[in-house]
């Protein structure tokens, strides 16, 4: 299955998960997986949240920023991959002067009350 992000419309999520600014995303979802190409403008962030029932992998395509993962900050640059396992908390932050563009995959693990990146 081919996912054509360039042919999708942006979904704009303001203050996503309690973060700052807005997340612009092109998303594919089905009951088992969420796949997204997202953009955080300078000063924008995805708020701190815990993954319950799923995990998340974030691959940085362009720009720089940082992730707050289980209370520790980790810098991110193009080619870096951040992994947040089920039961752990993270936040993605663009603290740079340019856009932060990333690719994310959220597989569900079959546990009730799972977190979704389509609902703040």
Tell me what pLDDT residue 110 has.
73
**Mean pLDDT of all residues in 102-116:** 75
pLDDT at 79 over 80: yes
pLDDT at 114 over 80: no
**Mean pLDDT of all residues in 5-34:** 96
Tell me what pLDDT residue 120 has.
40
For residue 114, the 8-state DSSP code is: -
pLDDT at 111 over 70: no
pLDDT at 40 over 70: yes
In percent, how much of the chain has pLDDT > 90? 91
pLDDT at 49 over 70: yes
The residues near 88 (Cβ < 8 Å, ≥ 6 apart) are 50, 51, 69, 70
CA pseudo-torsion sign 113, 40, 84, 8: positive
Right CATH number for 10-107 from 3.40.250.10, 2.60.120.10, 3.30.980.20, 3.40.50.2000?
A: 2.60.120.10
Task: Look up the pTM and report it.
Answer: 0.88
Mean pLDDT of all residues in the chain?
A: 92
Q: 66 forms bridges with which residues in the sheet? A: 75, 93
Q: What residue spans define the domains of the chain?
A: 10-107
Q: Are 100 and 64 in contact (CB under 8 A)?
A: yes
């Amino acid at each position: 299955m081919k996912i054509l992000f360039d042919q999708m419309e942006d979904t704009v999520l303001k203050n996503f998960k309690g973060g700052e600014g807005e997340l612009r995303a092109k998303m594919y979802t089905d009951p088992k997986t969420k796949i997204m190409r997202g953009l955080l403008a300078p000063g924008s962030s995805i708020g701190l949240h815990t993954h319950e029932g799923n995990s998340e992998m974030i691959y940085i395509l362009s720009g720089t920023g940082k992730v707050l993962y289980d209370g520790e900050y980790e810098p991110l640059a193009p080619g870096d991959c951040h992994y947040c396992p089920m039961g752990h908390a993270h936040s993605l932050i663009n603290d740079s002067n340019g856009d932060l563009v990333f690719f994310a995959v959220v597989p569900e693990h079959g546990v009730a009350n799972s977190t979704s990146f389509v609902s703040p």
